Each structure stands twice: as structure tokens, then as C-alpha cells.
Amino acid sequence: MAIEKVTDIPSDNVYAYALSKTLTKVSSPVTVGLYSECHNRINMVLKNIEVHMNQESKRREEKNTKEPKPRSITPSISDMLSLILRLLFYRPVWTEQNQNMKNIRFMFVRFSAWHFAGSDLLWAGLVMQLSNAIQNSFGKLQLGLFRIVQHDKEKDAGKKKIEDIPKNWRSKKLCCIPIWALILTGFIGSILILVLLIIFGFPHLKEHLEGEKVEESSGYGALEGFAIAVLGVPAVGALRFTLLLLKNLIFKQDLKIRQGLDDKKVSQQLGLMHEVRLEMRLLCCFIHFMEIFERRRIRVVLEITNLDRCTPKKIVGVLDAINILLSDEESPFISVLAVDPEVLVRQVQQAEDCLRKRDTAYDFLDRIITLPFTVPPLSNASKSSVFENIVRGQSEISENIPLEETGSSALGDPRTSFSVEDEYSVKYSEAEEEQAIPLIEKKGNVETFAAAELNLEEVDKLTESAFSYITSRDKSKLPAYISGDTMSMRRVINSIRVTIMIMETRKLEPPPAEKIAAWVVLVDRWPCRLSWILQCVEDDQQSEEIDGSICAVDNTKKLWDVFNYNSLELYITGYAVNNFLERDGDPELFEIFLKNYFKFTVEDLEKFKLCTVNLNYSIKNELARIRGSRRLKRAGRNAFQSLSSRTVMNMKTEDICQELSNLRFPDKYLETVRENYIDGRTILFSDPKDLRQVLQMTLGEWTSFKIHFLGVIPASQPAQAKTLPNATNPGVAMASKQYN
């Protein structure tokens, strides 16, 4: 299309870069919906995100020299001993300083749901793999010690208490005395007593012992007394501690979850979910502890892939687990749900007894997703590049990772990434690559995308300006259009950050901050109506190409005019788009928003389209199919010289009579039309049975009347009208399918 020649869709690396920068700024927990219909593009975006986030972590450590230097991810012997001492004898103190640390470390956990689809409770498998990943990253000994000597279910269940003290650690105390001091004092005292007993012996010994026997008895008596003193009450505690530590080192914690899954009585009750929730809380507390020890924040990025390939109930179970288990206020998890949104919505909609009666799949996802991120469809140029890569035997989507200066450490330490993939799939992919024979000889390296240096100060300035515009009550009109739902507010905040980041990365001249904020709010509040406008503009552009017109579509045309002109078609479509329209906000506010205050044009739409990631394209795709089927019927209508719905809608009673006269209907039908005041609206929205009964037509006459005024109705669809009121969307009425 004409617009595509002006500004082409950039590399997926740009979107991965913008998303990674946003994720380093948002506070956890956050759930990202990474949407794309191509799984290869999803995997490439995830790979690029990992690289860019590790680069950001390294950049912060090099920049923030004023903060204490973070410890190495691979601990030395001294760090290991220091960690063990902290676990045994100290507790962390939450201060303003250590809660606002700039340095950050990301740990990536890839969970392919398809590999665990055979499990009855897929969400339990997700939790077990997450637990194993954290244990493998930090070590069994460290996690086992924390479980035994640090974790307190009652104390750790509450929120962190921020204290205004300079120290990050506080000694564990017993009777106001540090435990380490008591143990050290007891150990030194025992050694002194042992030495004194060995040197001086006991004052009273049995008289019948003589010579060497007396000396041996005194020595053995001293050792025996010391052994009895040591192997008393303290020995019981030490033995218990050792047994618990060995148990945690030998047996994995996921064994308890597996046993709960095997026990149907437990798994069907609250017990299993409660145990899993306690385990997740323990992992969160352990990560918070390691944050203080490593002197940096730690975020676990959970990448969930291939979930759209599973059955509906399992999908809903995983989504519930994300919402319940990983979304505590102090949770350090960033969940990335990488799926095909169209397939996921269809699967969730089919889940029986999992949704409330008035809920749709979109409503269910909106309660979970705090940052929707849709990778735009491939442009013509991008499709050609991908096709060429496949022909040459290369990867479908070129990696294009370097956006910044990268070295061998760009990918980070191997311990920062943990992928849950089965060995067979890895071996199979490697063998597949070895056997791949290119159809065309490879010509050197593929050109990669390179972006200019990102101006983070400009991004932050524009972002704060957009936020200030929304919060300014006197100047801004936007607060009236923002939803009162806090999840919607989070989506707006995160989407504004990503949109500005993409604009800056692509070196586009950004529009005013208030315009960016207004656009994001428009996408969030009225996704169906905006998708309809997008589809109408796209169809108009394609029609221009079909007609061979050199002139492009009028870019100065306002979006409200586009919607208003095509609203009748949406109105008649009715029931087919009901589920999508239920997502939209107040239709009257939509009209005021676009018509009076924020007069976006087609040109604005084209500028924002490539930077809009919070719009679910599955809605637009479904609207395209509905519109396409209507155009197919329109082709049949043209073949039979049928009138369009818009023409019939505007016809008055005399116009109906004139058409009947042209069709050579008897005059009695014209009189009947005049007597009953039948106009175009009556024909379109009345029950066909009632209409035929009033007109008293024969079968042949009624068929001709119906084809001419109502279009061609396939024999497989019964001619019945259904008028369904839409209480949620008073601006859009429901019409019969046959009028489509």
C-alpha cells in the first residue's frame, strides 16, 4: 500500500528492545501479553529481550559507581562463606537505600507448556519448574539453609517494614545477645575448660588407682566430661539442623507437590494450592534475601510459551496460577505470556465452567495482563526478507541482536537463564539444521538492523510529560475517559512507556505528549471501534489499488468521519461483533472523544500504527473476516442487482413503491406498502415472516422481493430475524444475520 512505502515496519529487534527497556523500568509484579501469530517471531523477540535486558543490567553496574559494587553471580569461596554466615546468624533489614537500588539482575526461566500438556494440573508443573530453576541458579545449599534457619511463615507473610537505619543486616539474638556471640563464647569456654581439665585434672580420684593408670583416668575423665557436656541439649539442636539440611539437599521441594498431585483428596481441595502458595512465598522471600546479599535487585522473568497449544481448561489453570501465585504485591516475578492471541482467546472461550456468565475471554485476559504487547504483522518488505532467508536455508527471522555495543558477555552469565525444554526437541532441531540444504547459495552475511543511540533522557522527559498531562485536572480532558479499573490504568501507563520507547528507537519525530497519552487511552478503552476504523481505512487503501488510482486515501480525513461513515455497516453486522463491542467503553464518550477533543486523522493513525502494541490484532482480524464475508454476499447481491443495506436504509415509502413498480409488481402491493407506512428501516429490521404476512405475496413474488431488498440469503441459513438488545452498548443495535 501507499503508506507502507513511506514507513516500513522495522525489525522485530526494535520491538524487543523497546519492551526490554520498559520491563527494566516497571515495578514487579507485571504480566506481559506478548502477542504474535508466528511462534518463530515470538521466540526471536524473547531471545532479543534476554540479550537487551542483560545488557541493561551490565550498563547499570558500570554506570552506578556510587552504589556498593554488586557481588559476582558466580560466588567465590569467600562469598559463599559470607552467605552461609548471613543465613545462620543474621537477618536482612529493609531500608530505603536497599529498596531503591539501581543495579539489577535478571534471571530468565523458559517454560514450554506444550512439553507438560500431559499433566492434569499444568499450573503445578509451572510452579515446580520455577522452583527448580531458582534452586539451580542459586544453589541447593543456599536455598536449603534459608528454608531451615531464615524463613518464618508468620513473619514473612506480612509486608516488608522499611526502617531508617544505615545497616542492611541485623544479628539474630537470644535474650538480647547475638546468637553468634553466644555460640562463639560457648565454643571458646568449652575449649578453655577442656584445656584446664586436661592440664590440672580432677581434684578427687579414686585411691586404688596408681601410677600411669591414675594419669590415664584423669585424662579420660576430662574427655568424658567434656563429651557429656557437648553432647547434651546443644547436640540435639545440631543433630536436628543437620537432618533437616540433608533432607532439603537430598529431596527436591517439588516432591511434596508431586505427592499432592498424586493424592486426589489433597489435589481436589484447598490443601495443594495452599502448599504451593506457601512455596512461592518462600521463593519470593529467598530472592529478597539474595537481593540484599548481592547488593542489587533480582527479577525472575518467566517466559511461558506454547500455551495456546494446550486444552482450554489447562490454559485457564495456568492463567489463574499467574494471577494468584505470581502476582503478590512484593513478588519479584515478570511473567511473559507469549502466545497467538486469536488462538488463545478461542481456547479460553471454550473452557467450560471457567468463566462467569457475562465474562468473555477478553475480559478474563484483561484482569491478568498488565502490559499487552502485540508484535505488528510483517510488512511486504519484511515478508520478502523472511522468504529469502528460508530459501537460503537460514533462520526464518534474522536475529539482528546488536542494538548497542556488545561483547562476549552480552548474553550474560549462563546461570541467569534457565530453559525448560526436553532433550529430544533440542537434538531434533540441531539435526534439522545440519540436514538443511539451501535452495540458493548463501551470499555472505545478512544485513542486520542497527539503531542509533537511544536518548533515554528524552524518553523519560516525554514519558513524564504524558503522565503529567493525564494527572493535571485543570488542563487535561483525559481523566474523564480513563477507566476506573486499576488494571486498565497499569496498562495505560506501561503502554505509554513502550510507545514512546519505540518512537525514539525508530528515530521518529514524536507527536505532543498529550496526543500520545490520548492515543493509548483510545486503544485501551475502545479496541473494537478502533479496530473497525483500522480495517475500514485498510480496505479503502486496498480498493484504491484495485481501481488503479494513483491518488492515495485522504490522510487528512478524521477518524470520527471514517467511523461515522461506516457505522451503519457495523450497526447491521450486529450480533457477529457483539463479543468485541462488549469490551468497549461508553459509545457516547467515544464520539465526544474523537469528535470534539482529540481529532485524530488517518495520517495520525498511520504514524501510531507501527508504535501501537497494546491493541489486540485478533479483534481486527475477526472484523476483517466478518467484513470479507459481507463483501462476498455483496458480490452475490450485485449479480442479482440487489440493493445495498445503506440504500434500503435511506429509502422512504414512496421510494419503495417506485422500486416495486420498476420490478413490475402488482399495484395492490404498492397500496399495501402505503397503508402500512413501510419504509427501508421497516424492511431491514422487521421480522420477514411478519412482512410477508402483511404484503400477502406469493412464494415467487416474495423471493423476488427478498432478493432485491434484503440480498441473497444462502439456503443453509434460515430466514429468521433476531433483534437482540445490547444493554452494554446502547450505541450499537443487534440485527439479523440475514441482513449481512
Given a contact cutoff of 8 angstroms between Cβ atoms, the answer to whether 94 and 289 are in contact is no
Per-residue pLDDT, 299:
92
Q: With a cut of 50, which residues of the chain have pLDDT below it?
A: 1-9, 205-210, 212-219, 231, 266-267, 405-415, 419-452, 550, 714-740
- Reduced to 3 states (helix: H, G, I; strand: E, B; else coil), residue 689 is helix
**CA gap 695, 670 in Å, rounded:** 9
* 446 to 15, 63, 380, 390, 507: CA distances (angstroms): 20, 33, 18, 12, 23
* 688 to 199, 697, 740: CA distances (angstroms): 115, 12, 14
The Cβ-side half-sphere exposure at 495, using a 13 Å CA radius, reads 31
pTM of the model: 0.70
**CA gap 494, 374 in Å, rounded:** 13
Per-residue pLDDT, 316:
84
**CA gap 69, 82 in Å, rounded:** 16
Q: What is the DSSP letter of 440?
A: S
Burial code (b: 16+ CB inside 10 Å, e: under 16) for 481-520 equals bbeeeeebebbbbbbbbbbbbbbbbbeeebeebbbbbbbb
* 61 to 69, 297, 470, 560: CA distances (angstroms): 8, 11, 33, 49
Per-residue pLDDT, 731:
38
Per-residue pLDDT, 421:
44
**Cβ neighbours of residue 609 under 8 Å, at least 6 residues apart?**
376, 534
Rounded to 5°, angle at Cα 666 from 662 and 667: 90
* 578 to 619, 623, 726, 739: CA distances (angstroms): 12, 11, 8, 16
What cell was used for 105? Answer: 539482575
Per-residue pLDDT, 230:
53
**Cβ neighbours of residue 517 under 8 Å, at least 6 residues apart?**
466, 467, 469, 470, 478, 492, 496
For residue range 475-500, what is the model confidence (pLDDT) as tens digits?
Answer: 778 888 888 888 888 889 989 989 99
Handedness of CA 517, 518, 519, 523 (dihedral sign): positive
**CA gap 491, 506 in Å, rounded:** 22
Q: Which amino acid is at 605?
A: L
**Cβ neighbours of residue 319 under 8 Å, at least 6 residues apart?**
337, 348, 364, 365, 368
Query: Could you tell me which of 419, 376, 421, 292 has the C-alpha nearest to residue 617?
Result: 376
Question: Rg for the chain (alpha carbons), in Å?
Answer: 35
